[in-house]
Structure 1
Amino acid sequence: MRILLIEDEPGLAESVCTALRKERFIVDHVDRLATAREASLLAVFDLVLLDRKLPDGDGLSLIPALRAKNAGTHIIVLSAWGEVAERVAGLDEGADDYLVKPFALNELLARIRAVRRRPTELDAAEIRAGSVVFYPANEEVEIRGVRLDLPRRELRVLAALMRRGDRTVLRETLEQAVFGFDDDVQSNTLDSHISRLRKKLNRSAAGVEIHAIRGVGYLLREPA
């Protein structure tokens, strides 16, 4: 799961990022609306944590653009503005939840788990390919009924490939799904993750193979 945190309080932002990364989320942090708009054009986020009182405006003004880019993005507002009218305004603008500052990190994590369980029009309860089943709500993978534990980035690669069915996924799309803006990514890093994932699928008799489409990207399909 890739998360965009839009928060201008450095201490709070650091605490939230640390907590989310411990949960194996990919987290990008920005502290301005303008930077958030740029980030939303560069990557697709599963969840946005949105402060309201930002140096260049009210965070709620960003929600329409986030929805236009990806209707399936979950949005949780984090704000010190906690009056009923403010919370209603946030939810009416399109946020999935509204958490008033100060808050406990455990509560934030619980709210995130809750919104992830809510299906959107773009969500599927499960995605199948060969003998592999991917459950988007909790990002778990099973092969023939046995759970397959994967490192976070290999899981993101597999999820991106399975969501595309038998269509080629561009290399750039996979990199956006796997790496945050601050990650130090070498030219062969993605290939290394895919190589390890390919071996695990083969060992598990997954009934699907990852094929490289030279100069384009990768494709997940059943053996011929």
Structure 2
Amino acid sequence: MECFNGVSAINETILPSASVDTDAYQLGLGLEYKDTEGNVIQADKLPEDLKVSFADSKDVFAEDGTIANKENIPSANNSITVVATVSSESQDVNLTEEFTVNVVNAGDWATVSGSQLKIDNDIDGDTDASYDNTVNTAVVGDDMILFPTVATQNDGTVLSEENDNAVQDWNGQVESVETSDVTVVTVSKDASGDTVTLRPISAGEATVTVELASGL
């Protein structure tokens, strides 16, 4: 048995009331337990007398963290404040932790797990770039477009060519884009959040990070 001194929320998003089918969408609040060094403690290492209860600002969840009142879930872009109480007499632990559950649109993207780089395949100098040539390496001076290939919506739907619902662009889901080294590559997005452009500056390696509009 490992002694713990901290907890953190596992689930921090929920769909709006109209998008939640409690028979198919079994979201429940959950916690991770941390030891004194911040490492996650596995369930079989927790004390047997561990007690956990939840309370929230919208009366959405039951004490055990399951959805009790679906109709109380607010609309997207709102939030629910949750207070978790954790206790164990054998470990002399009595913790109270507050966290926020954000209400997100069902069709917004939760994650992007596949992408590819493309350059303009038009070699005659035409300014109408088609960006239909997939590449694995970058050439200094040649702009590239980062295309998503696999995306998962907040409702669990996976968008991909394999599922016959391929994504064509970022679909307005890009909030921001950053590069780890602007001397190697610069990055930008268009105003609509549909297109992410990379411009190689010099030889080297850089990491490009895309933050989704959902904030996830």
More strand by share: 2
Which entry has the higher C-alpha Rg, 1 or 2?
2
TM-score normalised to the size of structure 2? Answer: 0.26
Q: TM-score, normalised by structure 1?
A: 0.26
Greater share of helix: 1
